[in-house]
Chains A and B, each alone.
Chain A
Amino acid sequence: GNSVTQMEGPVTLSEEAFLTINCTYTATGYPSLFWYVQYPGEGLQLLLKATKADDKGSNKGFEATYRKETTSFHLEKGSVQVSDSAVYFCALIVSNTGKLIFGQGTTLQVKP
């Protein structure tokens, strides 16, 4: 079946630290991959996406590369800020369906 697995949270970092949130997936076909972010008290927002193998999505200093060989889409940022504190969701779209399958979410807390 189709599924997404994210690293367990919460993740607590100091400001300017390097961030990695691991995400791996299982899917039939060739899914598109997404990272969504949910800031406290706000709705889900698209952070970045990649639609085919070796594509790199990037936004707001975050990056993730679609790795077909390892079925991964790890999220990275070189220097986190307090304002990056949020819940991050990795997701894939099941081919020919439009359904988003989400990972369980990873809470990031950045301390000054």
Chain B
Amino acid sequence: GAGVSQSPSNKVTEKGKDVELRCDPISGHTALYWYRQSLGQGLEFLIYFQGNSAPDKSGLPSDRFSAERTGGSVSTLTIQRTQQEDSAVYLCASSLFSEETQYFGPGTRLLVL
């Protein structure tokens, strides 16, 4: 079946602009996660949605980052007033339930000039 999909695959933006990154999880998966992969920091957890529960936002690096998940499916990660240090690959993953195996999308490569 279809895996996790993300769009866009690449995004180049200017410092100070807002960006939206989209994730379509595997159908039927109740848990959705965002991670960031950067050269200096490795793979970092950002935010986690489980069903209708309040999301775990403990990994978001600043209040410029936010995410929502509509209808328990598609998720959007928004970065406001982007900074050069936000340049990274943003990965989305989903799992059937919390603590089950997570399946990753191909990522969105963000470059902030």
Taking Cβ atoms with an 8 Å cutoff, the residues of A that contact B are 32, 34, 36, 42-46, 49, 89, 91, 93, 95-105
Whether A100 pairs with B102 at a CB distance below 8 angstroms is: yes
Chain A binding surface, main DSSP class:
strand
Tell me the count of chain B residues lying within 8 A, CB to CB, of chain A.
Answer: 22
3 cross-chain pairs, A with B, having the tightest CB-CB distances, nearest first: A98-B98, A102-B43, A44-B104
Q: Among B31, B33, B91, B98, point to the contact of A43 (Cβ < 8 A).
A: B91
Chain B residues with CB below 8 A from A96, complex form: 99
Residue of B nearest to A43 (CB): B106
Given contacts A44-B91, A45-B104, contact A89 B43 (CB under 8 A): yes
Output the residue of B43, B45, B103, B107 with the most chain A CB within 10 A. B43
Taking Cβ atoms with an 8 Å cutoff, the residues of B that contact A are 31, 33, 35, 42-43, 45, 48, 50, 56, 59, 91, 93, 95, 98-99, 101-107
CA gap between A91 and B42 in the complex, in Å: 12
Whether A100 pairs with B45 at a CB distance below 8 angstroms is: yes
Whether A99 pairs with B48 at a CB distance below 8 angstroms is: yes
Whether B104 pairs with A49 at a CB distance below 8 angstroms is: no
Can you list 7 pairs linking A and B with CB atoms under 8 Å apart? A36-B104, A43-B105, A46-B101, A91-B43, A97-B48, A98-B56, A98-B99
CA gap between A97 and B55 in the complex, in Å: 11
Whether B104 pairs with A99 at a CB distance below 8 angstroms is: no
Residue of B nearest to A6 (CB): B42
Residue of B nearest to A36 (CB): B104
Q: Among A34, A42, A44, A104, point to the contact of B42 (Cβ < 8 A).
A: A104
CA gap between A97 and B47 in the complex, in Å: 11
CA gap between A101 and B91 in the complex, in Å: 14
